[in-house]
A and B are shown apart, each in its own frame.
Chain A
Amino acid sequence: MSAIATRLTACFQTVFPTLPEAQIASASQASVAAWDSTASILLVNVIEDEFGFEMDFDRLADLDTFERVHDYVVEQVGAR
């Protein structure tokens, strides 16, 4: 697991404490009942704190799986 994936996993654990770590990499809004719009905004905030960049709210609707969030974070971190 990459360093970014590890840090992102920790962010998911903070927002979804009952989600087993093994299921985080495959997590999606469809598979995690607690991942609603409120949790999405909490997740954005926790990721912003962890990685130090501001996420684009307009992209929020597309960031509905761990994998997509991971790719977005890699893109943002790489662009800095």
Chain B
Amino acid sequence: MKISEALKVLQSAPRGGEPFEAALVCGFTPLHLETLLGARLQQRLSGRRIVIAKGLFGDTAGTLESLRGARPHAAALVLEWQDLDPRLGFRGAGAWSPAAVADIVTSATRMLDRIGAAVEQLDPGVPIACCLPTLPLPPLFHVPGWQAPEARLLLDRELNGFALRVVRRPGATLADASRLAQDSPPGSRFDLKSELSSGLPYTLPHADAVAATLALLLAPPEPKKGLVTDLDDTLWHGLVGEIGPENVAWDLDSHHSLHGLYQKLLASFADEGVLIAVASKNDARTAAGALARPDILLPPGKIYPLEVHWNPKSGSVGRILQAWNIGAGSVVFVDDSPMELAEVEAAHPGIECALFPKNDPAACHALLRRLRDWFGKPRIAGEDALRLESIRQGAAFREVESGSAAEAFLRLADATMTIDYGASQLDPRTLELVNKTNQFNLNGARYTEGDWRRRLADPNAILAAVNYQDKFGPLGKIAVLAGLVRGDEIHVDVWVMSCRAFSRRIEHRCLLSLFERHDAREIVFDFRASPKNGPLQEFFESLTGSRASGPLRLTRTQFEEKRPVLYHNVIVTDSTP
């Protein structure tokens, strides 16, 4: 991004947008880094107005310490060597003599300890993204440049210790050095002229690469939820219908291990809670033969559903989306045929389509990395492991539900809801659910971690996190409801429920529990109809008798008159620490 583009992005911020205050902590003159970080954050948080606050030149630790007790929405810490000791930079007059090296390492160690302590003392609600030194050290060591000096190794060891200390703080993330090296080659990062004349040591492209990385760490994209893969020449090499299940290949010996790597990555995704399905034009029994081979790296148990037949793939993908109950925008489709990709893309706008480059190892490596970026998530929650199983159970649930009297079915489902009104505010899954749910979502509002902690700090704030299980198995944490209590009114401005939990009257039980717990007369919902939240619109219509498009009120009397019989066992907890 050029500076002129960055300025235009910043000027495009909505005038009335809620401010997003980010503290930029660095010891050099941030100049373009400040502009570019603002612009990159603005691109990621387009509804907000980015405000960057910066600290004092040459005092990284002091700037961080001054943030103690402050509540910016986020902080970005950009360290360079001179922040650890001015003699490691180019602007100080301190000696580069061999005699000084040991002292430099000692003082850098002390400074890292001070900075680490300052990071730990930040308000826990302030997410912080850190970037360790990215520039070359000055030529102060006695060895030639191609030899690693011992002092450098000692500095690296201290930095690694610091990095571990920082990332163990909740809400802290660290820029990946090797990824940054791909985006910004080390040889083209340092601008000595700019460093000496203005105090900014970065070339413009490097400043942009650092800014883009920090923005991704502070405002990460929502991970994709599902991957639909082709089989022939994608999951394995060869056409299974022509050469037989025993002759398709994915291993090193057959020189087709690109497919094996792809299988390994998909298996890893499945273990992390990503949904994996197959859409293939093939004979189902023949394909099943290859999937059942004992040497396959993506076991068929990790795949659901399988759409293997000769009909168009757009239809297969449509049925898979229906089975998963997620939108096309959360899904990636991988196939070796550009034609199939185009057909699916046309039928399912928003889906990410990726070509499997079966004969190009470099392109395949790039695809695997791109897939990791799409599906990568900062942490794996217990619910991730439950997702595939609960979708399978959901299909069984719908089958049973449609085949018998729904009322009797629900009565015998042996459902238990655990409603936690307390500490789940500290559970990352709660915010994750709020930010990724579309269909049953009160208003589509998204929150940063800082926003979320800030709103829950209100003494009148309420939060309910709901876990569910029935005889078909556990669904994990599937609903979140939050708002404020004002007298005998409850104002709810966050309400989401996973689509895996539909048709179980969980939404009715949530409201009943809320009315009862607060002895409330009325609930006011900050509802906004959207093209995606149809299920919630229908739910409200069933209670109020009319379609709402904006905020609405529901009295307890209204609710009691319209609600169906509820069969759940309910356990209410309050795990506030």
Contact = CB atoms under 8 A, between A and B. Distances in A.
Interface of A: 11, 14-15, 17, 38, 41-42, 45-46, 49-50, 57
Given A46-B4, A49-B2, A57-B198, 14 more contacts: A11-B4, A15-B7, A17-B11, A41-B31, A41-B198, A42-B3, A42-B31, A42-B32, A42-B35, A45-B4, A45-B204, A46-B7, A50-B4, A57-B193
30 contacts: A11-B4, A14-B4, A14-B7, A14-B8, A15-B7, A17-B7, A17-B11, A38-B31, A41-B31, A41-B32, A41-B198, A42-B3, A42-B7, A42-B31, A42-B32, A45-B2, A45-B3, A45-B4, A45-B32, A45-B204, A46-B3, A46-B4, A46-B7, A49-B2, A49-B3, A49-B4, A50-B4, A57-B193, A57-B197, A57-B198
Contacts of A42: 3, 7, 31-32, 35
Contacts of A17: 7, 11
B75 to A, nearest CB: 21
- Tell me which of A11, A42, A49, A57 has the highest count of chain B C-beta atoms within 10 A of its own C-beta: A42
A6 to B, nearest CB: 15
Nearest to A60: B197
Chain A interface, DSSP helix/strand/loop, else mixed: helix
Nearest to B2: A49
Contacts of B197: 57
A58 B90 CA distance: 19
A27 B171 CA distance: 45
Interface in B24-80: 31-32, 35
A41 B198 CA distance: 8
Contacts of A14: 4, 7-8
Closest 9 pairs between A and B when the two form their complex, measured CB to CB: A45-B3, A46-B4, A57-B197, A17-B11, A14-B4, A14-B7, A49-B2, A49-B4, A46-B3
Interface string B1-21: 011100110010000000000
Nearest to B32: A45
Contacts of B193: 57
Interface string B523-550: 0000000000000000000000000000
A45 B207 CA distance: 13
Interface string B185-220: 000000001000110000010000000000000000
Contacts of A11: 4
A57 B197 CA distance: 8
A11 B2 CA distance: 13
Contacts of B204: 45
A4 B501 CA distance: 63
A57 B448 CA distance: 40
A14 B197 CA distance: 23
A57 to B, nearest CB: 5
B43 to A, nearest CB: 17
A15 B4 CA distance: 8
Contacts of A57: 193, 197-198
B399 to A, nearest CB: 60
Nearest to B34: A38
A17 B12 CA distance: 11
B564 to A, nearest CB: 57
A42 B3 CA distance: 7
Nearest to B11: A17
B296 to A, nearest CB: 53
A15 B11 CA distance: 10
Nearest to B196: A57
A57 B11 CA distance: 27
A50 B3 CA distance: 11
A73 to B, nearest CB: 15
Nearest to A58: B197
A77 B546 CA distance: 68
A14 B11 CA distance: 9
Contacts of B3: 42, 45-46, 49
A5 B198 CA distance: 27
A31 to B, nearest CB: 20
Contacts of B32: 41-42, 45
Nearest to A57: B197
A47 to B, nearest CB: 9
Instruction: Indicate the member of B7, B11, B31 with the most A CB atoms within 10 Å.
Output: B7
A71 B31 CA distance: 26
A8 to B, nearest CB: 13
A42 B193 CA distance: 16
A50 B193 CA distance: 21
Interface in B202-244: 204
A67 B4 CA distance: 21
B116 to A, nearest CB: 30
A57 B8 CA distance: 24
Nearest to B193: A57
A49 B31 CA distance: 16
Contacts of A45: 2-4, 32, 204
Nearest to A15: B7
Nearest to B204: A45
Residue picked from B35, B193, B198, B204, most chain A C-beta under 10 Å: B198
A68 B4 CA distance: 21
A4 B7 CA distance: 21
A26 B79 CA distance: 41
A17 B31 CA distance: 18
A32 to B, nearest CB: 15
Contacts of B4: 11, 14, 45-46, 49-50
A14 B7 CA distance: 6
A45 B2 CA distance: 9
A49 B2 CA distance: 8
A46 B11 CA distance: 15
Most chain A beta carbons < 10 A, residue from B2, B3, B31, B35: B3
A45 B32 CA distance: 9
